[in-house]
Amino acid sequence: MKSFTVALIGNPNVGKSAIFNELTGSSAHVGNWPGVTVEKKEGKFTYLDAQINVVDLPGIYSLSANSIDERIARDFIVKEKPDLVVCIVDSTNLVRNLYLFVSLKELGVKTLLVLNMIDLIEDKLEIDTTKLSNSLKTRVVKTSATKKIGIGELKEAIFDELHYPQEELYVDYGNDIERSIERIKNLLNGTNLPYNKRFLAIKLLEQDPLIIQELKQQQKENIVENAILEINSLEKIYPDLETEIIEKRYGLIEGVVKNSTKHLVSIEDRLTTSDRIDKIVTNRYLGIPLFAIAMLIVFEATFKLGGFFADYIEQFFGWAGDGLSQYIYNPILQSFVKDGLIGGVGTVIVFLPNILILFLFLSFLEDVGYMARAAFVMDRLMHSIGLPGRAFIPLILGFGCNVPAIMATRTIADEKDRLLTILINPFISCTARLPIYVLFTGIFFKENHPGLIIFSLYALGIIVAILSAKLFRSTIPQLKGKVSFLIMELPIYRMPTIKAVLIHAWERSREFLKKAGTIILLGVILVWLLSSLPFGVKYASEQSFVGALGKFFAPILSPSGFGFWQAAVALIFGLLAKETVVGTMGTLFGGEDKLSIALPHLFSPLSAYAFMVMSLLYIPCIATIGVIYRETNSLKWTAFSVFYSLFIGWISATLIYQIGSIL
């Protein structure tokens, strides 16, 4: 059986992942690209006598290689040389999406164009695929991945295109630029860079930093110098040469689209439902309040709906702990099972419904297209106080987990902006903190707007992140500079399928369960062991090892209102994973049901809120610290993040408790 490699590429939000899933089914697996932590998805399918391996490249807008995602995509296409590159575009926005496709054709690769979301333009736009195919020198297939339309035709087209040659597509840049391209091409004859010579010449005129670097590594500085002379000459005619080159590409695209499409509705009727909704949700004055209200509703529903299911899970673990202990006669083993495993891990698992429900809401808002609008709306506020525009996207991802959110900063081209976003991201409240909030809110604020209390913690994290960014930008020399704007394409609103939302929510919640079975389990076992040693002491007493550890750090926490050793121990073990704060308390006090009795004797509502603030802001978990180091490649910045967040967490909790006590 013959084997081929096919790469899927496209802008973000064009349904590329859905196409990948439909093509590969259960054969897909996820890893990382060699040397980087950006996710790599691979799968395969069989068609006739061919096994076709599919690689899902990161969602990008161009092949300029300004961001790490763009470099990965371009390097894979150039160096790995897939047999076919399938470019997936959003049928509702052909002009913007075809820019990447034209760049691929200039690179000289064999392509297949997929018009996805074709169901969204029915009765609105007619696309003549024959004219489009002839103009762009490629085969065109219409699909709708969510409705499983055209997948069979796509597989057939992939198989056919693997066996036939293709014509090249040229963008006419005008006589002056074309003459410069030819002169640079002649200079490139002695190089062995794995690029199409015309593509290489154009990228030199665009001053692509990676191309320039590769030529210098081959000691071809003379080519770079001659390219600069060409640029200087052309800029006497075109003051902004790079913009001129981009406009020529768009000129070709607009002509092709105009020639191959026909609008079926009037200009007035083309105002889509998305446009009408955006007039409200992206309004200068209404956008931020609407986002805040949406988040408040999400957290209120998360607490109330999750609490309903959590009560039953809590009863189950209470029954399991009492039932199992009756059949275990060894007191040490009995303590390990009841206090350690069930009391610790069970206390954390109780909050799985809350996490699952939160992810259901966030997945729905993301898939429906609202979260992109939230980033757009918040960009105005963030930019006005010195934050990079693209920072809000990784910050939004931080609501799920700070680790992939920090990895997502690789899409930020400017290194200063990227570093700044990495440093502030740990302040965004991930779902690992949610069990802490739900536990304390359920005990101390159950009758006093619990959703509002949880919402205030998420809002506080965003505020601290924004203020920290402002402070870093104005005081740290390595982070000073111009602030980049957020340039993004807003996807149209579309109702996601129930299956897609459930899959996204479950995939994220599954990570919580994995942690419960690994890191959190190890943490509570360690807490139980230290609570039981030295032999002969009362379990989880001040005389135990864990009690001594807590007593050593407890005085530091006294100004914050929770200067008792159990709180100190919980925060220390929370470094393994934030959920372990709850698991540790469950282990120390013997389960979630015991916590509702014990904690009101140790905390007041004010000190409980201060403890939640401390849990929100103090040192990131081990996994987050590790990814900060990997992404910055700097012990200095990693240490700075750890000590700064510890200080901010302690000072914030202390101020809230002390000022609250006075009031």
Point out the annotated binding site for Mg(2+): 21, 24-25
Annotated binding site for GTP: 10-17, 35-39, 56-59, 116-119, 144-146
Q: Are 540 and 576 in contact (CB under 8 A)?
A: no
What count of other Cβ atoms lies within 10 Å of the Cβ of residue 438? 24
Query: Helix/strand/coil (H, E, C) string of 521-583?
Result: HHHHHHHHHHHHCCCCCCCCCCCCHHHHHHHHHHHHHHHHCCCCHHHHHHHHHCCCCCCHHHH
Annotated binding site: 10-17, 21, 24-25, 35-39, 56-59, 116-119, 144-146
Distance CA 452, CA 458 (A): 10
What count of other Cβ atoms lies within 10 Å of the Cβ of residue 9? 28
DSSP H or E stretch at residue 304 = helix 287-325
Contacts of 248-252 spanning 24+ positions with Cβ under 8 A: 248/171, 248/172, 248/173, 248/174, 248/177, 249/99, 249/102, 249/103, 249/171, 250/95, 250/99, 252/102, 252/171, 252/172
Task: State the burial class of residue 325 (Cβ atoms within 10 Å of its Cβ: 0-12, 13-18, 19+).
Answer: middle
Both tokens of 280, joined, read 């409200």
Both tokens of 39, joined, read 């996710």
Distance CA 8, CA 42 (A): 10
Distance CA 447, CA 355 (A): 21
Distance CA 388, CA 336 (A): 49
What count of other Cβ atoms lies within 10 Å of the Cβ of residue 541? 12
Distance CA 603, CA 611 (A): 9
Q: Are 49 and 15 in contact (CB under 8 A)?
A: no
Residue type, 55: V
